[in-house]
């Protein structure tokens, strides 16, 4: 599975400009418009791995490991684009919404010399809420694109001629301009809806500022190789947001870069060059809090010995940073706005979803996330995305995405209290059939879900057995279950509460509603 590091985008319109960088023309075959269809509606998104969420008044946009999912009625019905043109079976690596246009960047895993590596597969956008799509191939350079003009300088630039490791992790918008951030491809912009792309110069690791009038001598180069020995962490780009008509923030493996003149000059903030710095230089996600004009970042440890994982936020444009949630690996930022100055911050992490109503001074997690009616829970600690939309003057939806399902909270009873709806994607089940997913599964990260169908309401018993058919755990015994599709969950533990060893396990389902016992196989990989 592709390692995807993504952010929510809280973006306003910006005017763009830069000193004459070289552009890279895509040929006509790389830009195509494809008819889609919204006639097929599903009750859940296409995947349980929810990479990113954008929530507007009624339109919900999900980027998932199995393509794009859209809902125009706040989650009652979903249009899923997995295995449909132009998405195919690619995963979504970033999503955006600007001036009524839906954007998605895509990627897949490709085997290269026995190693699975991420490959960028392009950008898609729709101007009619997903009915038709325009597909753009992943921007790449020609072998001769080895220099860039930046003000008074002509700088060497490593041509990125492959889509391998050239995957777009974030997308942002300014006036008439699209910005994408890529590990190998760096920061790029397009002012013609993706027909051509231009590389954008950021400071190398040994410079904190660059301006077109400076005399500069470095290469635009994220990794060392035959092209040169330079390997700049600050040229490995992962996140980008725009704030106003002239201000951009870009997160890299080397810190957070800020431009106040439309991407022409840049100032770099990192753990080493400020008195009150970010926690770590690997800025995997950025968020803009429009209620108090603050910048929030999921900042991970990069290479500095004193760096650490946390969330960093600044109320003075990056000059000083406050650090909260130390040692938490945050993936994303989300905000719930009540009025012009009242807000909550939401942070999805590897240890659950956190929320603060006092600008990060204290944090609260939900006691559990379980569907109010079906009782199906979100059974994971890994949360990746969060968003909120306002229904009316008093009612809101909060959306949280994990690696094991999506949840929507209709919050009317207080902090993290209200009616939960859990969306769990699974294949249709026939009566007298069963399967388990995800399979293989890792007990340290998730629970495996056992799905089965009953022809009538009946008591159910489910037992887990090892490869020698010895009893490991009784999940449920003579427990009442209703007609139709059912779920049970196993945490990978035996009767004594210990996590089982790696290997193959079997489960058996017994019920009077079944014509015969049902059997399934589970692979445990820690």
Q: What pLDDT digit, counting tens, does each position of 21-53 carry?
A: 222 222 333 344 455 555 567 889 999 999 999
How far is it, in rounded angstroms, from Cα 188 to Cα 196? 10
pLDDT over 70 (residue 191)? yes
What is the per-residue pLDDT across 161-174, written as a single tens digit (0 to 9) for each?
Answer: 999 999 999 999 99
CATH architecture of 434-524: Sandwich (2.60)
From the centroid of its chain, how far is CA 496?
Answer: 37
Supply the pLDDT for residue 391.
Answer: 85
Across the range 97-121, mean pLDDT stands at 92
Supply the pLDDT for residue 380.
Answer: 87
How far is it, in rounded angstroms, from Cα 171 to Cα 187? 10
Supply the pLDDT for residue 259.
Answer: 96
What is the per-residue pLDDT across 402-418, written as a single tens digit (0 to 9) for each?
Answer: 998 999 999 877 789 99
pLDDT over 90 (residue 310)? yes
pTM of this structure: 0.81
pLDDT over 50 (residue 257)? yes
Supply the pLDDT for residue 425.
Answer: 85
List the domain boundaries for the chain.
23-423, 434-524
Supply the pLDDT for residue 14.
Answer: 24
pLDDT over 60 (residue 6)? no
pLDDT over 60 (residue 420)? yes
> Do 236 and 254 meet the contact criterion of CB atoms below 8 Å apart?
yes
> Do 6 and 92 meet the contact criterion of CB atoms below 8 Å apart?
no
Mean pLDDT for the chain overall = 88
Phi then psi for residue 520, to 5 deg, are: -145, 165
pLDDT over 80 (residue 509)? yes
Residue by residue, DSSP assigns 412-479 as EEETTEEEEEEE-------TT-EEEESSSB-TTTB-EEEEEEESS-EEEEEEEE-TT--EEEEEEEEE
Across the range 191-211, mean pLDDT stands at 96
Number of residues that this document lists for the chain: 526
Task: For domain 23-423, give the CATH number.
Answer: 2.130.10.10
How far is it, in rounded angstroms, from Cα 178 to Cα 172? 6
């Amino acid at each position: 599975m592709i390692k995807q590091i993504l952010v929510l985008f809280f973006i306003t319109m910006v005017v763009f400009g830069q000193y004459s960088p070289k552009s890279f023309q895509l040929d006509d075959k790389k830009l195509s418009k494809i008819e889609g269809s919204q006639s097929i509606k599903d009750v859940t998104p296409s995947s349980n791995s929810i990479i990113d969420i954008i929530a507007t008044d009624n339109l919900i946009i999900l980027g998932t490991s199995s393509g794009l999912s859209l809902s125009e009625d706040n989650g009652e019905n979903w249009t899923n684009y997995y295995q449909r043109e132009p998405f195919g079976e690619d995963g979504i690596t970033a999503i955006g919404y600007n001036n009524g246009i839906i954007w998605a960047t895509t990627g897949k895993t490709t085997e290269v010399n026995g190693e699975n590596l991420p490959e960028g597969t392009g950008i898609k956008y729709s101007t009619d809420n997903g009915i038709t799509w325009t597909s753009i191939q992943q921007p790449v350079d020609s072998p001769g694109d080895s220099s860039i003009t930046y003000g008074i300088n002509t700088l060497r630039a490593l041509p990125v001629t492959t889509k391998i490791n050239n995957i777009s992790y974030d997308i942002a918008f300014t006036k008439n301009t699209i910005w994408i951030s890529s590990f190998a491809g760096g920061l790029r912009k397009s002012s013609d809806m993706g027909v051509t792309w231009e590389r954008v110069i950021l400071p190398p690791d040994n410079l904190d500022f660059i301006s077109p009038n400076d005399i500069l001598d470095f290469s635009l180069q994220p990794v060392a190789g035959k092209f040169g020995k330079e390997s700049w962490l600050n040229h490995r780009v992962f996140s980008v947001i725009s704030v106003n008509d002239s201000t951009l923030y870009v997160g890299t493996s080397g810190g957070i870069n800020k431009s106040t003149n439309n991407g022409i000059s840049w100032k770099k903030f990192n753990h080493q060059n400020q008195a009150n710095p970010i926690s770590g230089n690997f800025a995997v996600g950025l968020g803009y809090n429009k209620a108090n004009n603050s910048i929030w970042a999921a900042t991970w440890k990069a290479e500095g010995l004193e760096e650490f994982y946390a969330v960093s936020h600044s109320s003075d444009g990056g000059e000083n940073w406050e650090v909260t949630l130390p040692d938490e690996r945050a993936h994303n930022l989300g905000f719930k706005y009540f009025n012009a100055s009242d807000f909550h911050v939401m942070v999805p992490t590897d240890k659950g979803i956190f929320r603060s109503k006092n600008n990060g001074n204290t944090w609260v997690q939900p006691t559990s996330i379980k569907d109010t009616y079906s009782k199906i829970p979100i059974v994971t600690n890994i949360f990746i995305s969060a968003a909120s939309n306002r229904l009316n003057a008093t009612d809101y939806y909060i959306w949280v995405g994990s690696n094991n399902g999506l949840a929507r909270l209709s919050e009317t009873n207080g902090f993290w209290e209200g009616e939960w709806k859990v969306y769990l994607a699974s294949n249709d089940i026939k009566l007298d059939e069963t399967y388990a997913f995800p399979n293989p599964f890792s007990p340290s990260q998730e629970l495996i879900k056992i799905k089965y169908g009953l022809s009538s309401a009946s008591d159910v018993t489910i037992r887990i057995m090892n490869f020698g058919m010895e009893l490991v755990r009784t999940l449920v015994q003579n427990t009442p279950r209703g007609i139709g599709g059912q779920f049970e969950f196993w945490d990978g533990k035996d009767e004594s509460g210990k996590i089982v060893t790696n290997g193959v396990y079997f489960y058996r389902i017994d019920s009077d509603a079944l014509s015969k016992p049902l059997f399934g196989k589970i692979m445990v990989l820690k």
